[in-house]
Chain A
């Protein structure tokens, strides 16, 4: 018969929840990078793109909208790092400013769609019954369209331009967020602190905003990081199709469009670099979102 004595291992287990809680922000980030190298790559990409977009005015060596007819279709060289397009605009500068457009549209649409989806999803779960039924069927209808098709439909109604593109991408993101948030909120609704809030006579708005939404934020934030990538891709697609951001505003999808195709063999850098920017950015956001989900989901944490 073995007598189980609380050895050092047991003591470590007993202490663990405390140390886990006391771990600092920087410590958590380091731990995340060690466990999820792909996620860390994603995080790095996200940070670089955000920095590029934010500091575009200082980073870009040329005005992205200025034509220079003495330097048209130059191959990458020391003056124009990534070459110039058919109007002599510096591709590196346009990429850096395009990052700003991508960030504005990506974050704008993801946060807008996410927030509306969050409120709708939590409200739907909180009230339940026929309100829930109606909300969910409406979201089903919106979900039936692929993201880009619905965005195209919205743009064709509202017109093009940065702001309309944000709206066009926001709308298809709403049901995608609302669905996920609702399932989390259904679980939260059954927790006694919600009953306690009702017994205390709090209004519905207070219960939804103060007691339910803060407790579904973890899955919501993960969703949001994935949405930014999706929104950037949708923006690039819309711009490529000519229904998104309009010239001369620098946008990655727009840089791929039109005459870039005509010069694919003679001046491939015009199309290659914006294409690469889109691929790396979307990949970065996706990898970061996936890794964040794995890191936060306790069921997957130890894998």
Chain B
């Protein structure tokens, strides 16, 4: 391994685009349009770092995660994992990549196979990848993983429907850890949980990050959770990253008008302050990704838009050290 490989970022996404074709006809299909779920996204994640990816539903953050995991084949762009392009990997190489990157899903009810016992769910990847061939030792490893995720090993004999949402999410995390990955995509991993359980699962993820040296891509829409857990945050809007900065910098000093609107929409848990606050939500609705606006995709809703925004698509520029913004009106 060269020095560049060990010191470079663990994950590098360059110009990632995922356009889903919209077709007509059954046998003779004809493309009538495309949904631009992800439309030119660049970011890097360093080793041991947690990058938050936030945005409204439908902005392409989950699709970005799925492309990185190779669950979707992106339309364009490169994804470099540990300095290596993973776009064309097949067969055994793809399988060995899968051992290094894992995923925790949003819904703990549908992400576990209801016909399998918890112990088998966690043991299956260990068995399939031949990590532990001996059944007895594998069972011990499963117990270890479950207790690492804060579950009593006796849960191994239960079915998912016999457990609560928080417990199931811990099973999902244990399954993701079974292959000892370096990188985990947490796709809204705590969004479906109660607030008290959310805190427990976030603490668990933090704890595991420190103990196992994990790197996370944390996809979420809850900004307070992201601020707590992530070192850096990227804000997505309609398939593009509009702003990316260190967590505190982004929350204290948002530069993009969309980020400002998003942060202003976070309710303050004090009715008196909340009543006096001058919050103006952005005008209108999120435009359809089937037919995104020209130029800057945010211009129809933007409070600071000028005529030029309709024509020129802004690129992500480093406005301050480590603070990237895609807006022509920010200087």
A192 near B161: Cβ-Cβ < 8 Å: no
Chain B CB within 8 A of A196 CB: yes
Chain B residues near A211 (CB, 8 Å)?
A: 113
A199 near B98: Cβ-Cβ < 8 Å: yes
Chain B residues near A87 (CB, 8 Å)?
A: none
Query: Whole-angstrom distance between the alpha carbons of A203 and B129 in the complex?
Result: 11
From the candidates B95, B111, B116, name the one contacting A192 in the complex (CB within 8 A).
Answer: B111
Query: Whole-angstrom distance between the alpha carbons of A191 and B69 in the complex?
Result: 16
B104 to A, closest residue via Cβ: A196
A193 near B179: Cβ-Cβ < 8 Å: no
Among B29-57, those with CB < 8 Å from A are none
From the candidates A21, A201, A203, A215, name the one contacting B113 in the complex (CB within 8 A).
Answer: A215
Chain B residues near A201 (CB, 8 Å)?
A: 94-95, 98-99, 125, 128-129
Query: Whole-angstrom distance between the alpha carbons of A192 and B185 in the complex?
Result: 14
Interface size on B, residues (CB 8 A): 29
Given the known interface contacts A191-B110, A201-B98, A215-B113, the answer about A196 and B128 at a Cβ–Cβ threshold of 8 Å is no
Given the known interface contacts A200-B102, A206-B128, the answer about A193 and B161 at a Cβ–Cβ threshold of 8 Å is no
Chain B CB within 8 A of A202 CB: yes
B111 near A200: Cβ-Cβ < 8 Å: no
B124 near A200: Cβ-Cβ < 8 Å: yes
B95 near A199: Cβ-Cβ < 8 Å: no
Chain A CB within 8 A of B175 CB: yes
From the candidates A196, A198, A210, A214, name the one contacting B111 in the complex (CB within 8 A).
Answer: A196
Chain A CB within 8 A of B255 CB: no
Looking at chain A's contact residues, the main secondary structure is: helix
From the candidates A133, A199, A214, name the one contacting B71 in the complex (CB within 8 A).
Answer: A199
Chain B residues near A196 (CB, 8 Å)?
A: 103, 105, 111-112, 172, 175
From the candidates A21, A192, A197, A200, name the one contacting B110 in the complex (CB within 8 A).
Answer: A192
A21 near B105: Cβ-Cβ < 8 Å: no
Query: Whole-angstrom distance between the alpha carbons of A192 and B121 in the complex?
Result: 14
1/0 per position for B167-187, CB-CB distance to A under 8 A? Answer: 000001001000100000000
> Which of A198, A200, A215 has the most C-beta atoms of chain B within 10 angstroms of its own C-beta?
A200
1/0 per position for B315-327, CB-CB distance to A under 8 A? Answer: 0000000000000
How far in angstroms is the closest Cβ of chain B from A186?
Answer: 15
Chain B CB within 8 A of A195 CB: yes
How far in angstroms is the closest Cβ of chain A from B70?
Answer: 8
A194 to B, closest residue via Cβ: B113
Query: Whole-angstrom distance between the alpha carbons of A8 and B64 in the complex?
Result: 48
Query: Whole-angstrom distance between the alpha carbons of A211 and B111 in the complex?
Result: 11
Given the known interface contacts A191-B110, A192-B111, A193-B113, the answer about A200 and B175 at a Cβ–Cβ threshold of 8 Å is yes
A214 near B105: Cβ-Cβ < 8 Å: no
Query: Whole-angstrom distance between the alpha carbons of A203 and B125 in the complex?
Result: 11
Chain A residues near B144 (CB, 8 Å)?
A: none
- Would you mind naming 24 contact pairs between A and B with Cβ atoms under 8 Å apart? A192-B105, A193-B110, A193-B113, A195-B71, A195-B103, A195-B105, A196-B105, A196-B111, A196-B112, A196-B175, A199-B102, A200-B124, A200-B125, A200-B175, A201-B95, A201-B98, A201-B128, A201-B129, A203-B128, A210-B113, A210-B124, A211-B113, A214-B116, A215-B113
Q: Top 6 nearest A-B pairs by Cβ distance?
A: A201-B98, A214-B115, A192-B111, A201-B95, A192-B105, A200-B125
Binding site for B on A (CB under 8 A): 21, 133, 191-193, 195-203, 206, 210-211, 214-215
Binding site for A on B (CB under 8 A): 27, 66, 69, 71, 94-95, 98-99, 101-103, 105-107, 110-116, 124-125, 128-129, 161, 172, 175, 179
